[in-house]
Structure 1
Amino acid sequence: MAQETQLNQLFRWECGLGMAIAIGLARTATAADYLSSPVTLAAILVGFACGGLCTFSFFQKSQRTWRRVGLVVAKIIAMMIYLYAVDTIVSDLLDHIWRSSGVAPTFLFYLGTILVFIGILPGYFRLILAETNSPLRMLALFIFYYEAVVIPNTFGFGKNYVSSFDAINLLTFVVATALVIIAMNHWGYRFPRFKFNHQVNYWWLALLVFPRFIFMGFSAGSWSRLFSLPVTFKLASVSDMKGFLLTGVYIVFTVLTICFKEELIFRYLFLSQILNMVTGTPKVKILKSVLFTAFLFALWHLQNFTYQPVLGTIMQATAAFAMGMAFAIICLYTGTIWITVIMHSIFDLFMVDNVSNQSPFSVEPSAFTIEFILITTAIQIVVVLLAIYLVKTASFEQTIRENRLSRQPHFALD
């Protein structure tokens, strides 16, 4: 209780300090494009006010439904705005220092990234680690991770006056990932091991993996081209790279910041917790977990509506749903995410050689693309369902057993 009180006090002090700095920056702001607008300032004030509200200990103890719902809503708002508020204040403060003192923007850029990570730690402990409600845990950690990995990209003066920040982007990704793993470990979820479950049938595993490799043919462009020989594979976007070193950097960033990041979120952060939240027999728990995470993975890809055609994005979400089911069942069957990390990397780095370098989802999908995605989606769903109901449950039960927490979460998905 004393530790929780100290944590609440620390968070309240940070909220008050942040509000004071935001008001001070607003009073001294110039017409620069990257200083806080009144809308941004309002968002900062609302975020810190909600953050202060959420420090009160009666959050879980409230007996009145309307008050409990109101506090949950406030907490969700605080989660969404908190990191953005700290980020904006640090960015504007360093921008003000840069304009008045002429300090090198690169130094301030790196300093700002470090300060943001230090500044968000009180909220990380109060809004994430201290959370006991499983859905809010998932939501809070997801929001934190999603916003933390793009911290350097939000600094206005950095984007305008720093030539390259690949190194700090990679460092930011590593630190944010470490904080996610620390939170999961704090809640009782072990980091995925490298060995498989004891009773994995490798013929079934091969059957689960194979349909995903069939899907690599979706970029061929036509059925005749897909079935014509020879079929060649090339590194995605390699024609746009200059030299071996740049290609290597591209591969590292793709594997870590896209493939590993998505597997960490959907097959570790989400799948591990959902598996403990669902109820029923082992087969029912596996089916529910697979469907829930596949739906979330499909929903994640709908954000591409902003720059892709609607039908193309729907097809991408459909393919992501099938991929989410296949990857989830592989993780639950083997007890590790590393197979899906490798598979995801292969899919993102290699594609069937086609006439256009464009992603089939970035343009209006052709009849071949629609047919191919629907057929491969159906195949993957059938294979996953066969695995759930025909494969011996021993390997699945080992995953459930090793994933089980010492105490049950406060929320169940029926």
Structure 2
Amino acid sequence: MSYRPLADEIRPTTLDEVVGQSHILGQNGLLRRIIESGSIPNLIFYGPSGTGKTTVANLIAKRTNRPLHRLNATTASISDIKDIIADIGTMLAPDGVLLYLDEIQYFNKKQQQSLLEFMENGKITLIASTTENPYFYVYNAVLSRSTVFEFKPLEGSDVVPAILRGLEYMARRSETPLTWEDGVVEHIAQACGGDVRKAMNAVELLSGAARVTEEGRRITLEDARMAAQRSAMRYDRAGDDHYDILSALQKSIRGSDPDAACHYLARLLVAGDLVSACRRLMVIACEDVGLAYPQIIPIVKACVDAANMLGLPEARIPLGDAAVLMATAPKSNTGHIALDLAMADVRAGKTGDYPRHLQNRHADSAGLEREQGYLYPHDFPHHWVEQQYLPDALVGTRYYTYGENKTEQAARRYWEEIKGKGGSR
């Protein structure tokens, strides 16, 4: 008998055995009602690995009388699709086929388009799964003919029933009594990062390597910790998780939460992504702290330089300083907002000629520089003199508004006193 992984051996046979996903598979969940109706449309399942996408596809196959074909887009080709299409209408598939296409994001446009005609006439019912956002990776023609269901990451508590089922199955198969210490189930559930497949792999490994005792074999919490270390990390530098962690890091610092900032930075560093962590911290310094604490930019730059010089694991020390400092610093986005507004005007064609007195002297004939009319601010009290700087077409335009933080308000008061304008803008 050939070997089958535990995850396949005890794969759920009913919807009630599928862990999590109550939002779509609960008693009144839409996907459950679709499956129970037996009338299956084209479907796209989107979510992390190990959250039940393949399991649900198998359960759907049981509700239809169509032959089930499985393809993985990482290895399948056009010829594999042609072989499936060739069966349609024959004795092998008189009423069409159910095609489960895993990792559809790896199919190019031509490969995806080859399915369209048969999806349209109902000869192929497509159930595709992807770990990436389908609205980015699945072509519109396929997407418009399908219903998308998101499979959400599982919590540790969601995975506990599956782990218990796996341990009990391994105990029944064991020639000697198999037991486990208190805390083993909970630790595996927490460490698997919401991936049932990872949890089942850990159960199988620990069951096979259980310690021999006088009473039989026993899985210890120490072994569970060793087997499951770092397995909770879900991170793909080219996938959605990469951008989600970076986004969460920036939003946590912007929201002045140093604990969340440390958490998301830790996830980047444990995954070894020093480059992305450094780059994003520099962006945050300029975008979210900015003029409220102008010294933050050279400080974070120094931390980033130190981190790159040290490398991991020591790089965590200056980067931790940078993250906590920015999370607890005052915030301002006025500088880059002002520039964004100015760039929008430039892109819209709102420019105009440079004021004559701002042009470079090369525009003047030799000896006629004074005709330019430029007033040199350093020759005046407080190094300021009133003159026009914006083009004629933009005179009076305001891009920058002083932030409410102490630094920018001090600058506002300083210039209001010198310029004698009073009031704020």
**TM-score if structure 1 supplies the norm length?**
0.26
Q: Which has the larger radius of gyration?
A: 2
Query: Which structure: greater helix fraction?
Result: 1
Work out which structure has the larger RCO, using CA pairs closer than 8 Å and 6 or more positions apart in sequence: 1
